[in-house]
Amino acid sequence: MSQKILVVDDESGIRTVLSISLMDMGHSVSTAESADEALLQIDQARPSIVLTDIKMPGMDGLELLKAIKTRDPDIEVIMMTGHGDMDLAIQSLKMEATDFITKPIGNEALEIAIHRASERIAMRNQLRQYTEKLEQLVEEKTRRLLETERLAAVGEAIAGLSHTIKNIAGGLRGGMFVLEKGIDMNDATALSQGWEMLKGNAEKLYKLAMDLLNYGKASELSLRWCNPNEPAIRAIETVSGQAKAAGIPIDFEPAAFTGELWMDADAMTTVLSNLLFNALDACMEQPPDKPKSIRLTIADTRDNSVCFRVIDTGIGMDDKTLERILQWFHTTKGTRGTGIGLMTARRTVEKHGGTLRLESKWGHGTTVEIHLPKCT
């Protein structure tokens, strides 16, 4: 498949040699000697593949990669690296680079990298066509089948679940790619990073399965009189290992009163665990120089309820994301959004006769409040 390729390198000799090789392979080639010039060409001509050096004066290859993906995520970017730049190459893969090849670049390695990028382009085009047809089919079937609120809710849940599975599958594929590179190049660093990526996404897959099981169990409450501190302490124990490994403290302020709540302690442990894991993930997304902490408090309120509050200093949510989540909490129509964990939490809390609400600001953390009645 002939591609429109942009070669970016500050050395004219490399640009010339690569241009000749790529044109001999049947591709259309343009060149740029800097990242700034490359971005101008991308805005004007939109190449399908960019082949860029990872180290250049001014804006380097990683910055160029980030700028390209911001402009158009579908452009495939192949990084050219020196033998001592493996860490940068691995970092570029995490930033969604298609591949990397080491200098000096042989024709065989170049052809393999371009072929792999071309396959990704072809697969994406086929998937887009298939998705468009599938969306049309789904839309037609939905008009016929989604006649009740229950079916609409099922449709929303499937859409959210499909999105989550797609993200996890993408993470697994990325881990396998890095691992394969490590095997091919006998690189211990790549092997370790690829393995960690695989383990992380496998854990996400396991958590998703458990969330689905918990969601199904949310309607089967086993109520008993219980101290509200009990599920909170158990939830913190569940999350503490991961929080300690991440260096993120969890501060706990237990209930000061001695009363008990009529509730399912196991179900509420799951709810609070989900919220703490979400808070931990949000904190880990903050830049390294930002303070990261989680606080769980339990307090009596004036409205004859007990308030469980999870406060984090994580990345937070913008107004648009928060609006989608709040809409999902209150209706099953016309929204996409929250994860299964939040859906389970909301369902469990409502089964207890309580309420769940969110406050969040992008870059400044999130607060989740659960109010459970003292008497049901």
Q: What is the DSSP string of 117-149?
A: HHHHHHHHHHHHHHHHHHHHHHHHHHHHH--SH
Tokens for 176, please give them.
């396998």
Q: Which residues pair with 31 in a beta bridge?
A: 7
Task: For residue 368, give the nearest of 376, 358, 360 by alpha carbon.
Answer: 358
Tokens for 44, please give them.
């004007």
- Other Cβ atoms less than 10 A from the Cβ of 175: the count is 20
Residue 211 contacts residue 340 (beta carbons within 8 Å): yes
Buried b (16+ CB within 10 A) or exposed e, 133-157: eeeeeeeeeeeeeeeeeeebeebbe
Amino acid identity of 163? H
H-type alpha helices, 86-228: 86-94, 107-145, 149-185, 188-217
Tokens for 194, please give them.
């690829």
Which DSSP category does 75 fall into? S
Asked if 4-116 and 224-373 have one fold, the answer is no
Tell me how far apart the alpha carbons of residues 239 and 59 are, in angstroms, rounded to a whole number.
Answer: 41
Q: For the chain, what are the domain ranges?
A: 4-116, 148-217, 224-373
Q: Which helix (H) or strand (E) holds 32?
A: strand 28-32
CA distances from 242 to 200, 237, 248 (A): 12, 10, 9
**Residue 202's pLDDT is what?**
81
Mean pLDDT per 10-residue segment, the chain (376 residues): 91 93 94 94 92 92 93 93 84 91 90 92 87 77 60 56 71 84 87 86 72 60 89 92 90 84 89 90 88 92 87 88 58 37 80 90 91 78
Of the CATH numbers 3.30.420.10, 3.50.50.60, 3.30.460.10, 3.30.565.10, which one belongs to the domain with range 224-373? 3.30.565.10
Residue 371 contacts residue 345 (beta carbons within 8 Å): no
**Residue 289's pLDDT is what?**
85
CA dihedral angle for residue 88, residue 92, residue 97, residue 102, rounded to 10 degrees = 10
Of the CATH numbers 3.40.1550.10, 3.30.1330.10, 3.40.50.2300, 2.30.30.90, which one belongs to the domain with range 4-116? 3.40.50.2300
**Residue 366's pLDDT is what?**
93
| pTM (global) more than 0.75 | no
Tell me how far apart the alpha carbons of residues 118 and 97 are, in angstroms, rounded to a whole number.
Answer: 14
Tell me how far apart the alpha carbons of residues 139 and 264 are, in angstroms, rounded to a whole number.
Answer: 40
Query: From its phi and psi, is residue 186 left (phi > 0), alpha (psi between -120 and 50) or beta?
Result: left
**Residue 332's pLDDT is what?**
28
Which DSSP category does 105 fall into? P
223, burial (CB in 10 Å: exposed 0-12, middle 13-18, buried 19+) = middle
**Residue 62's pLDDT is what?**
93
Residue 189 contacts residue 228 (beta carbons within 8 Å): no
